[in-house]
Amino acid sequence: MSDDFEHLFSGQPRYRAVAQTLVREIQNGHFPQGSMLPTESELCERFSVSRHTVREAVRRLHDVGLISRKAGVGTRVVATEIGSRYIHTSDSITDLMQYARDVRLEIEQCREIEIDEVLAELLESSEGSRWTHVSGLRYLNGESVPLATTDVYLPPEYRLSETELVEAAQPIYRLLENRYRLKVVRIDQQISAVPIPAQAGERLQVDADSAGLKVVRKYFADDDALLEVAVSLHHGERFTYSVSQQLEIQTIGQSR
């Protein structure tokens, strides 16, 4: 990576720096309309960043209509100019971390697993890689009825023993921060409505196919290192997600 890129990356998330660079190159004709962007691997090598970083940067370009993506074909430039866009910004990641602090996780199983094709897509990892899988139930403090089923996946680079996980009175992300001297700086979250499968219904003490909320959280440290993926399934009547957001206008090529 050149010194110019090192300077560009300082003081801001790397995915944003990569996105801004690609936007400028599209706008100045380096990647004209109708051309193909480099592959994910080529962008990783060029910018010396992870696949997670490249995917997030490319997603930003897709969201503002500059590119289109098609499996087996690649990423094509479909426009060279964008206007201002609306962005919803949360106040901080503190609110997302609050959930892990407010509820307790009772671990039922902890083992190393080999990632299959379905999990590889969720974890943005290679099929066949080996991750730590932690499964259990979450409870509100003082409650005996479970709030959610939870499956936590830890990548090969970041391991915790079953004893550490079971005996700790801290969220898993905090254990990882302390063990590896890292700091969670970003959390990606997706929430979707799903029917609760029969097995999960038994564990949650609710009817199968009743309304549920699936929450996927991905915890990232500096340099977009993925520390943890947590997948929780809640019964719809036991969980409400509320967020306060601020509406602002920002041009993607401008820094904040």
Whichever domain contains 58, its CATH number is 1.10.10.10
The pLDDT score that the predictor gives to residue 63 is: 74
Q: Residues of the chain whose pLDDT is less than 70?
A: 1-12, 83-101, 241-256
* Token output for 131: 């991750």
Helix axes of 40-47 and 51-63: crossing angle, nearest 10 degrees: 110
**What is the per-residue pLDDT for 91?**
47
Q: Quickly count: other Cβ atoms within 10 Å of residue 244's Cβ.
A: 7
How far apart (Å, rounded) are the C-alpha atoms in residues 213 and 148? 9
249 within a domain of the structure (yes/no) = no
Rounded to two decimals, the pTM is: 0.63
Please count the other Cβ atoms lying within 10 Å of the Cβ belonging to residue 145: 12
Burial zone of 109 (CB within 10 Å; 0-12 exposed, 13-18 middle, 19+ buried) = exposed
Q: Domain check: are 102 and 168 in the same one? A: yes
Could you list the residue range(s) of the whole structural domain that residue 166 is in?
A: 94-238
Q: Are residues 147 and 59 in the same domain?
A: no
* pLDDT at site 254: 53
Question: Is residue 256 included in any domain, yes or no?
Answer: no
Give pLDDT, residue 9: 46
The answer on 161 and 51 residing in a single domain is: no
For residues 138 and 216, membership in a common domain is answered with yes
Predicted pLDDT of residue 157: 92
Domain count along the chain: 2
Helices (H), the chain: 3-9, 14-27, 40-47, 51-63, 94-102, 117-123, 162-167, 172-180, 198-204
Q: How far, in Å, CA of 233 to CA of 203, rounded?
A: 11
pLDDT at residue 243 in the model: 58
Paired sense of beta strands 226-235 and 74-77, if any: unpaired
> Residue 64: its pLDDT value, please?
78
- Give yes or no: residues 173 and 114 share one domain: yes
Q: Tell whether 73 and 126 lie within a shared domain.
A: no
Q: Are residues 121 and 206 in the same domain?
A: yes
Q: Is residue 87 part of a domain?
A: no
